[in-house]
Every structure is written in structure tokens, then in C-alpha cells.
Structure 1
Amino acid sequence: MRRIVIMGPPGSGKGTQAKIISEKYGIPHVSIGDILRDNILRKTELGALVKQYIDRGELVPDDIIIELTLNTLRDLLKEFNGYILDGYPRTITQAEALEQTDMKPEIVIDIMLNEEECVKRLTNRRYCPKCGEIYNMILKPPKVDELCDKCGSKLMMREDDDENVVRRRFKEYYVKTKPVMDYYERLGKLRVIDGSGSVEEVLKRILGELGL
């Protein structure tokens, strides 16, 4: 089983791809974004703190994310010997913190997508608050408008999928994570993937790089 990091700007589809690969190959998917959103929905102390940053379109501070991620991976690797990590690392500090452990990734997939396509995808994204299923009203619409195919719940739009917030997140992502990509490139772990096209087309490119 492999230790994989999957990166990409907001709207690049990294979470969708990670979920598909996880289900197909039995590699556990760790989504830091999902863990943070779960804490927000449950109104935990961590959730309240994180919500302030997300609502402003800012990245959550490194110390919070590093502790959360390393603890999550440590627990996971007691049972499994691999992972697909989505939403981490987003800064050099986060990357170095993981690289200094015995849990470091073997390969880093970076899904590239331009700003306008990311905005288009995210402003059309919906999620099911009950089962967590993700939809896109253009690329992957539900069978019945605004209702989840799996459980029938009414779909919702994330607050951070507002166009202005998305544009801020996109710009901040590249300012903060360009050094991370350079870091992994120096280590020989980075594989850049074209994120345009259908989910199936992007998946095929990723699997080719992973040798799956």
C-alpha cells in the first residue's frame, strides 16, 4: 500500500479523485478539509476557531493543521500501511513536519487547474450535509435537482464556495503552496497532472503516474 499526497487548488477535484482511488484500491483517504468541516458542524472548540479563518478565505494556521494531521496519520497507520492525504501540506512548514517523520509520503500528485475553471466548478458545487456526498451542478449533477442521490437530503452550498472567497483562496493557495511544490520537486516526489476534463480523464492521468 502506498503513502500518497494529492494536492491542487480549490476546485481542482483532488478530494473527488482521492475518494475514487481510495474506494477502488482500498487505500484509506484522509481529508483534512473534511475533518475540519466536521468539527465546524459539530461546533467543537477547534471548529469554532477554524471557522473564523475559513469564513475570511484564509488558510488555517500551521500549528493547528500539523498537530491534527500527524495525530490522524499516527492513528491510521496503526491499522493500515498507507494513505491518500488530501488538503495537506499547504505550506513548507507543514511539508517539512511530515517529511521529518516515518509517515512521509512516497509520491505527491499536484493537480493543476486555472483560476476561472476552479471558480466555475466551486460555485456550482453542492454537498449533502447528511452523508457527505459531493456534487457539481455541471460536471456531476444529482438525478433530482438539489437532492442527494444516495439519501434524498437537500443539497447545500458551502459558505466558502462564494465566488469572492474562492478567488481569494485560489490566489492564497498558489502564494503559499508554490514553495511546497518546489520542495517536493527537489525531493523527486512531485508529479504534475493536468486537471482539466472529466473526472474519468483526470483519474486516468493520476493512475498512470501511480502505476495503478
Structure 2
Amino acid sequence: MHIILLGAPGSGKGTQSHLISKKLNLPIISTSYLLKKQSLYSSKKENIIINNCIQNGILVPDNIVINLIKKRITKKDCKTGYILDGFPRTIKQADSMESANIFINCVIEIIVDEKTLIKRISGRRVHTQSGRIYHTIFSPPIIKNKDDLTGEKLIIRSDDNPKTIKKRIEEYNKTKVCLINFFKKRNKVFQINGNQSIEKIHQDIVDII
């Protein structure tokens, strides 16, 4: 099962990815996680490009993202499928998937209004090493600011500030129409109301799958 989860920043892609991953025993491939990890070990030039894009809420160049994804899906844990969280984000990335014969079963877009998105992101906390996501209100960790599994400190992402959040939402909205239409032509798209409870959204996704 190859699944794409789409949605603006704060729409709940990360939370739902983990729920579906646990249910279907599929790995999550998160572009934001891969990029942050890559920025620590990549060449100086690529590191600067990635970090500059993240800090300013703009998309990282397609060639960098595509190469990371192609490399990741060759790993052994992807043989029975995977969940793509936040990829593709552009038509070029979507085209590259087809060119590489990467088959997708369904594309699920979680739709949330902007006011709610900003509220959600401002309370988000992340475990850097694993990519696990928490929220101070909606899904808090057992111990405040600590990862449930490791006990390590959670962080506030540097791009989780109001100005950058708005920029990221604008960037998503600019590219999503063409992207959704791309997959609609292939009868792959399902859209879900993301203003519902986490449990209801999860059930809606399970019903689609």
C-alpha cells in the first residue's frame, strides 16, 4: 500500500501518518524530517540551501527533495509499502514519481481552515531524532516537553512562528491546486475534513484505505 498524505502545515499529516503507520505497519517518509536530517550531514552548499528554505517557509528545490525520496524508498522497510508525508509538493515532483515508476494507491488531502492551522502549529512540539509530533493542547506528551518513548527533550521548530507559518500556508495553497488536479485525473484523490477530531479523521482515512 502506497499512500500520499497532503495538507497544509498543521493539517494533521504527521499525527495521522503515525496512526496509519501503526495500523498498517508501514514506514512514514516525511520530507521535513529527511530535509532536516540531510541538512546536518550534506555538503555546505546544500546545507545552506535547505536551511534557508526552512527558515523562510519556502519550498526546498525539487532536485534535492526528489533525490532524498528516491534514496529512501529503496530501503528494506519500504518493500511492502510506505506513507509519503508532504511529498510530492509540486508537479515536477509528481512527474518524477511516475518517471521512476513509483506507484501510488491513494492520495488523501486533509483540509483545514487557516485560523485553525495557525493555532495548531503554534502549540506543536517535535522529537527531533524520530520526527514524532506532539501538541500542547490536542496531543500532549505524557511528561511535559518530553518524548513519550525516549524521554528526550521536545523542541519548537524554528519555522513554527506566525510569520513563517502564514508563508508556508501560502506556499502550499499556490501549488496544491495543480497537484490535486494531477492526481484527480488519475482517480487517486480523496479529501477529508481536517477540522474534526483526530479519531474521526483517522477513521475517515481508514475507511478510504
Q: Could you tell me the TM-score, scaled by structure 1's length?
A: 0.90
Q: CA deviation at 1:102?
A: 2.1
**SS at 2:179 equivalent:** helix
In 2: Cα distance, 1:85 partner to 1:111 partner = 14
Q: Are residue 128 (structure 1) and residue 127 (structure 2) matched?
A: yes
Q: Is the contact made by 1:36 and 1:47 (CA closer than 8 Å) also made in structure 2? A: no
Q: Deviations over 1:81-135 (max 9, x none)?
A: 3111111110111111102232221211111111111110001001123554321
2:42 is aligned to 44
1:169 is aligned to 168
1:66 is aligned to 66
In 1: Cα distance, 2:102 partner to 2:80 partner = 9
Q: Is the contact made by 1:194 and 1:202 (CA closer than 8 Å) also made in structure 2? A: yes
Tell me the amino acid that sits aligned with residue 22 of structure 1: S
Q: CA deviation at 1:43?
A: 4.7
What do you get for the CA RMSD once the two structures are aligned?
A: 1.8
Q: Is the contact made by 1:4 and 1:106 (CA closer than 8 Å) also made in structure 2? A: yes
**SS at 1:161 equivalent:** coil
Q: Deviations over 1:148-189 (max 9, x none)?
A: 333333321000111110011001101012100011111111
**SS at 1:160 equivalent:** coil
- Shifted more, 85-94 versus 15-24: the winner is 15-24
C-alpha spacing 1:96/1:82, structure 2 compared with 1 (3 Å): same
Q: Is the contact made by 2:21 and 2:83 (CA closer than 8 Å) also made in structure 1? A: yes
Q: Is the contact made by 1:131 and 1:151 (CA closer than 8 Å) also made in structure 2? A: no
In 1: Cα distance, 2:11 partner to 2:167 partner = 15
C-alpha spacing 1:130/1:102, structure 2 compared with 1 (3 Å): closer
Tell me the amino acid that sits aligned with residue 87 of structure 1: G
Unaligned runs of 5+ residues in structure 2 are: none
In 1: Cα distance, 2:54 partner to 2:23 partner = 31
Aligned structure 1 segments of 4 or more residues deviating by more than 4 angstroms: none
Tell me the amino acid that sits aligned with residue 122 of structure 2: T
**SS at 2:159 equivalent:** helix
Tell me the amino acid that sits aligned with residue 88 of structure 1: F
Q: Is the contact made by 1:122 and 1:161 (CA closer than 8 Å) also made in structure 2? A: yes
In 1: Cα distance, 2:105 partner to 2:147 partner = 36
**Aligned residues with identical type, % of pairs:** 33
Matches within 5 A, 1:12-51: 12-40=11-39, 42-45=40-43, 46-51=46-51
In 2: Cα distance, 1:65 partner to 1:184 partner = 19
Q: CA deviation at 1:37?
A: 1.4
In 1: Cα distance, 2:27 partner to 2:147 partner = 24
In 1: Cα distance, 2:72 partner to 2:41 partner = 19
In 1: Cα distance, 2:100 partner to 2:114 partner = 34
C-alpha spacing 1:204/1:154, structure 2 compared with 1 (3 Å): same
1:140 is aligned to 139
Matches within 5 A, 1:1-212: 2-40=1-39, 42-45=40-43, 46-73=46-73, 75-76=74-75, 80-210=79-209
C-alpha spacing 1:141/1:111, structure 2 compared with 1 (3 Å): same
Tell me the amino acid that sits aligned with residue 128 of structure 1: H
